[in-house]
Amino acid sequence: MDAGLTYIYTCFDIVLSAALLWLAWQLLRSTDIFKAIIFFICFGLLMSIAWVRMHAPDVALAEAAIGAGLTGPLFLAALRRMELGSRKERRIDGKEERSEDE
Amino acid sequence: MVRRNEAKMNNRHQTKKRLSGLLWTLLLLTIFLAGLLIWTVLNIPRPLPSLSRETAEYLAMSGVNNPVTAVLLNFRGYDTMLEVMVFLLGAMTVWSITHAPFPARVANPSPVQATAVRLLTPLVCLIGGYLIWQGAYQTGGAFQGGAVLSAGVVLLLISDFIWVPRMHSLPLRLGMAVGPLLFVILAIWGVITEGSLLKLSPENAWAYLLFLEAGCGISIGLTLAAFFAGGRPLGDLREEPYKADQDDGEEG
């Protein structure tokens, strides 16, 4: 019974770590800033679960509220203020969103 | 027609960049560093060197029952005092840049939005206050409750209520200052009564920490929401609270 529970915990940890790594990679390599911010919010939520797995519930509460709930909308607000200047800010390489086929 | 297809293909080819040599080198270095960290973590000597035994020993003297809160607010209270002051400094930095960008033409909120915000805001206050109070004996504390409170204030900021930009800024400023102020008052009180900075007597520590946590929770909530607002409030203390033509023209 105890060996089975440890096995389940280990599988959960492996899946969680793989998800965190994949989210981080997608967040860094996506050219759309809005998509990257959404990935960042998901990363914060999964990181909160990782803190719980490391037996730190206080840090998990703070990470969920601040990392996902405050920094995410902060980035979105910053993106909105950037976009008011030019529509091209949403893409990281500055191209227009529609493909230029004129 | 052929030129248009060629332009499209060039565009698609440009957006799919291949990793250059420099990026491959950095990727391999990062993987090597990750492997080194994993090997180090797996080889940490057991038993882990920690202060949990001493913390459990002195927990009764600290005035709370939660070891995390005892360490944060009592044993290492000096670090927390500097941290809340850094929060205030960060808010001052954000405020020194520009006014908060509220929209010039405020649209009335839809009934769903108005009802949701009106139902959620008291709940957020209740949950945040409970988390702050619960920090004395369970998981929680000033930072966790303060973060939940800040989420509630952010909810008020992004809903299109007309009275939000027109609020007087003095309660906001007082609320942001109450956390660091309580810490400084407690530090000086420790010097006066016990002879050392931030020294709390073991029989009264629970009362001191309760006030301290409440004040810090409120001030952390308001400071984090002030970060989100992105600029100083529209009503400066020397001027009128809000004039209709006082926006910077940033929103459209």
**Is the pTM of the predicted complex or chain greater than 0.95?**
no
User: Is-contact B212 B136, C-beta < 8 A?
Assistant: no
pLDDT in tens, B199-242: 888 888 889 999 999 999 999 999 999 988 888 887 666 655 55
Decide: helix, strand or coil at residue B232: strand
Domain residue extents for chain B = 1-49, 54-235
**B149 in A contact zone (CB under 8 Å):** no
**A94 in B contact zone (CB under 8 Å):** no
Provide ipTM, 2 decimals. Answer: 0.78
List Cβ neighbours of A100 (8 Å cut-off, separation of 6 or more). Answer: B7, B11
Bridge partners for B232 per DSSP: B99
pLDDT in tens, A16-42: 999 999 999 999 999 899 999 999 999
Task: Using an 8 Å CB-CB cutoff, list chain B residues near A77.
Answer: 228, 230
Report pLDDT for B167.
Answer: 80
Bridge partners for B99 per DSSP: B232
**A97 in B contact zone (CB under 8 Å):** no
pLDDT class of A84 with cuts at 50, 70, 90 = confident
Rounded Cα distance between B7 and B5, Å, is: 5
Rounded Cα distance between B22 and B33, Å, is: 17
CB contact under 8 Å between A84 and B252, yes or no, is: yes
User: Is-contact B176 B222, C-beta < 8 A?
Assistant: yes
CB contact under 8 Å between A99 and B11, yes or no, is: yes
Report pLDDT for B177.
Answer: 93
